[in-house]
Structure 1
Amino acid sequence: MSVGDALPFDVNWERDDHRITLCVVGSGGVGKSCVTVRYLKDEFVEYYDPTIEESYFKEVECGTRTYDVEIIDTAGQDEFADHRNSALAQGDGFLVLFAINSPYSWQELKELRERIVREHEDKGELPMVIVGNKKDLDSHRQVPFDDIVDYCRSIQCPFIETSAKTGLNITEAFQLLIEQVKLVNPTILEEQWHYKIANQKMRNGHIPSRSSKECCIL
């Protein structure tokens, strides 16, 4: 999987309901913004203000196709809970983060994951990846690896450990989530792909005739 340049939320980007929305969630201080920025720009930002909510758009290659993806870096602070809850309701897939040196964030992850499942209980299986961040602090680990594996097996959810500081497994985590979306909800990828192609043809001045088998959504 490869990505193009990230676009901030407030640029002149054509917004629609056909984009794929991926949410990066977790309690405060687990490195959600650092993971997101590392993925988007391959940079590590050590100091930053607590996030209210940031959204970015990427063109993501998966297999032989390119998809328009919105990545929402959600709020982790309690005072921004309303923003976070809104993102939980609209996501198509979730990276759920904790820090391997923080038992509190591990317990928060379990509660957050249950909240996400409740928000989407009408959809059945939900694309999700559990992410243990701050692997560079492995010598200060306070969440046992075996406990993580046992939990992820019990909920049948993929798990990966990352380091936003070193870049370890950051791209792989997002790739794993896209693969989960493709596995659990392939329709959304197919619809987004056809919508993207139709939009490109319209921008190039091609409008299908009534007899055409192509579908153009206006």
Structure 2
Amino acid sequence: MLAVSFCFFFWSTKVMAANKSKAQSSLVLHKVIMVGSGGVGKSALTLQFMYDEFVEDYEPTKADSYRKKVVLDGEEVQIDILDTAGQEDYAAIRDNYFRSGEGFLLVFSITEPESFSATSDFREQILRVKAEDDKIPLLLVGNKSDLEDRRQVSADEARTKADEWSVQYVETSAKTRANVDKVFFDLMREVRTKKMSENKEKNGKKSGKKKKCLKERCTLL
């Protein structure tokens, strides 16, 4: 009797785990790529969003991937975040990362003008890799807003660049968590809008082909 009960418990656990895995796999997945120079706080932003904790000295030697289930405007979805290393040593494989991304957080530090200048190069790389996309979901993020006394990139300067690119500019602080959720959720909304637009266009083309096919059949008859 004990053996039967144990087997039933084991089977039930496996079924529950399988159902949970199936439910998660059926959720919409939004793929976000963290882009920017080394040391601007990409990892700190990611870890703050994922685990609600601030990690000040974290320098990845490679890209790290994270996945989290969140509620986006009342709908459960999954976000997949790829935190790229940022160092030049990994420029050769950066194209592969960009190709897999659906949305991009282009991060610089408001205390480092060089990292702000570098955002233009990163954006050019993204545009080159995603050349087939008309509108790429992207936010320009000025991190380390808690270091206002050390600011070297003005908000107006950053907004001007964001306006030129027709993207949103947001200042964040991984340390105080200011606007951390906002940038991830706003980007997911842009990704979702793009997907919906593409699906609508795809369904419209299918519908058009079907009507054309039916019309051709009628002509033949």
The TM-score with structure 1 as length reference comes to 0.75
Q: Which contiguous aligned blocks of 4+ residues in structure 1 show a shift greater than 4 angstroms?
A: 12-16, 187-190
1:29 and 1:169 map into 2 onto residues whose CA distance is 19
- Give yes or no for the alignment of 1:170 onto 2:205: no
Tell me how far 1:102 sits from its aligned partner.
Answer: 0.5
2:97 and 2:158 map into 1 onto residues whose CA distance is 25
Tell me how far 1:116 sits from its aligned partner.
Answer: 0.5
- Which amino acid in the other structure matches residue 159 of structure 1? Y
Q: Larger % of helix: which?
A: 2
Partner SS for 2:147: helix
Partner SS for 1:117: helix
Find the counterpart in structure 1 of residue 34 from structure 2: 24
1:189 and 1:48 map into 2 onto residues whose CA distance is 39
User: Where does 1:28-177 land on structure 2 (aligned, <5 Å)?
Assistant: 28-177=38-187
- Which amino acid in the other structure matches residue 157 of structure 2? D
- Which amino acid in the other structure matches residue 66 of structure 2? Y
Shift of the 70–127 alpha-carbon distance from structure 1 to 2, 3 Å rule, reads same
Pairwise CA RMSD of aligned residues? 2.3
Gaps of 5+ in 2: 1-20, 201-221
Greater C-alpha radius of gyration: 2
**Contact 2:39/2:59, CA 8 A, preserved across alignment:** no
Shift of the 38–31 alpha-carbon distance from structure 1 to 2, 3 Å rule, reads same
Tell me how far 1:189 sits from its aligned partner.
Answer: 9.2
The TM-score with structure 2 as length reference comes to 0.74
User: How many positions carry a matched residue from both structures?
Assistant: 178
**Contact 2:30/2:191, CA 8 A, preserved across alignment:** no
- Which amino acid in the other structure matches residue 180 of structure 2? I
- Which amino acid in the other structure matches residue 112 of structure 2? S
Tell me how far 1:186 sits from its aligned partner.
Answer: 2.1
